[in-house]
A and B are shown apart, each in its own frame.
Chain A
């Protein structure tokens, strides 16, 4: 091509993007954080009005709180053509304290536009009420997430026919009973989160979800007598966190036949409490594939009397991944129990540590174990140990794994607070070079290490 033709071609090629239809340009803008999207307003006449049609509005004042932020949100919502819908509205008030009236106006405006998803987070002092007015405007809402300084008052009989995801995180809720009633009006709810909330009154929490798949329920209040009943026949993913002791244990109405993943965090006020209940819970969920136990739960199980027949370990036939958090108390026989009863275990993870602080609970591996667990000889592929400190018992366990783990592919050990001169380091390095079928990864603060 000669130079004139090239120039012509270049001129014709200029600004091709503005030829695309509005819908495609808006689709591009919708993928950008709003700060970037808005910068296209000064590019050309074509681009100027596009931002006003963005379907998803996410505002966060993290970088620039204050008057400019409120003016920006004001203009964005108010200047939008009245009939133009908003699909998603997210407001994260991180640092500023805003006038309640103004915030209420923003929410009303957004809710009035056939909104599908609303996510509000007030970290500062701005405290809004989420009550009848707002609830009644949620007939089109599919996702409702409220976090922080929000005071939730649930009215009677509020219909939420499209709600699939509901989250109350750190908010203040007027009564336990009102939540139960609300859930009865959510026929398609799949995902429910009630975490670390403050409650003003009540003593009975009823969680009913005929199609609920994921439930995360963390109740930090322990000085009330609270009865919790969970009726979720189709649950697949469960996370519960609460205190135990006495009357306030959580009851599951039916077994959970579809449960695949469970994370359990039960904390006892006094030592020895909660054993019955935690064992009962394990028996109800023994068909899960992935199980995570917090250090509190592990402590309760460790303090159980081994000789007591009530505490017979249930079989975990489907368990492929087990995550055990260890802090104050960890009875090694508990680990042996789990291994012996989980024939199909493939992955074992210790995110905090392998041994507990209390020395009297540690025991040696290799000698006292009755027989090699089936999972170890056939299925266990990966083991991850964090905060390895070089204790004899830890080394013994690693040697045990390497000696009997026929299917073992990878053992990863994160080492902290251990000097390289320590004997334990040398032992680990030796094990690393000796093991042929299984890769032993040693990771210190600087990265992976080997001989």
Chain B
């Protein structure tokens, strides 16, 4: 029995590292290869020994697909490809391919720098890993091999985020990665066509959140920045060069324009160009508004946001600075933080996740005294705020996507068990499909009924047409023919053609039955009586009396013979083909009742 098997090694009932194994029609695909940034040891990576147990990785896995550049989706990739030994293809979109190594490099530096880890992947490994990547375009069907094909759809979560359809023959699985069904300030909404997959694997981070509160979060953010600036404070926003940074810049730019604010906003040196470069390169991945505006003006070239210079940090008066890196672990953002931390009028807003061991993580956990390098203690008096701007679909959005794709089954990943349970029930009720939520390490097996294409011969179709009925999609009709398999193809042909093609002689199968009649007359007379009786009873059928004395009704043949022992009894030999089985049975039962008395 063909089946689809799904085993999450990560993201099964949790929001840690995503790594899902899918087996479909004999092909094995790994969806995402994420890292858990909360761990410092081997636990940060998925346990790949469960795959290596099946032999060599490269032989077992047909491909790896990465949905987007966040480290909980791609962070284990260099480890997997360069240290565990996967040597096959890795698929991701072009923006993901461009941004992924920057993020991996950034994390490698933290691991080596902050945590002093020696056994970690190197820059060369990241590069070698990225060389195995095959970048894909949206809606482009990519043939992994002769049977396996994949196709990317827009996911709207971050620049370059994609959902992937994995298809082998008529079986398919869609994996959403992280997605957002409502457009935000720089990205569009996720979209997929009615591809009716056997299984939709969807994230469920906000499985129980019904209304997206992103607008509220934006308002809060603007309010906090505004208040800090109004009281003369400086606001530091540590960001990663790409993604949310651009969204927040657009947000502040618009707000500054509307409120006619004068406090300067700065963005880390060098990064504006880099970000602009990527957004220009991948403009098709942004939302419609940005794409349209781009013709007249680059939305990412801001009026109020200027390039930052190290010396500006000491300027008096309020200001807002976007600086990298996003976790305050090194570089410019940390330098500025050290300068501003001591003043309670100032504020730091952390718009994303921070890895343990970084200054970002420490201040978010409430630490107010930080031991910096060189044993000095830095007292944090500035206000510390955390605001998540991550864009995930809410429950309504997830339902919307399920409705769009019309899957046969749904499987939930990347969420908390309790919230998943709620959504699972909702999906099962509304769409009447099975919904699964395996934990990490649990395998869900879905039987599939493979659709086997069958060709039909022109002759057979013409014969059907000749009967005067035109084909109609809404009115299925029964069509008789012979199914033959030749050269690994199935074809429905007429039985004559089948015999001809296969070089076979026709055999006839007939059912026979003996009916005893009490009739002392001669056989010929009995036959005539039978003929007359049947002719009168079966008015709609063609009843014939043949010259040799036998009687036929359609394919049914009746012959009368004398009984060898009893001259007063005649034996009626009735035989018929399987096509007339019903009529044959009826006739025998009729004849068994006897013939009517002759009126003459």
A interacts with B: no
**Which B residues have a C-beta under 8 Å from some C-beta of A?**
none
Q: Which residues of A contact B (CB under 8 A)?
A: none
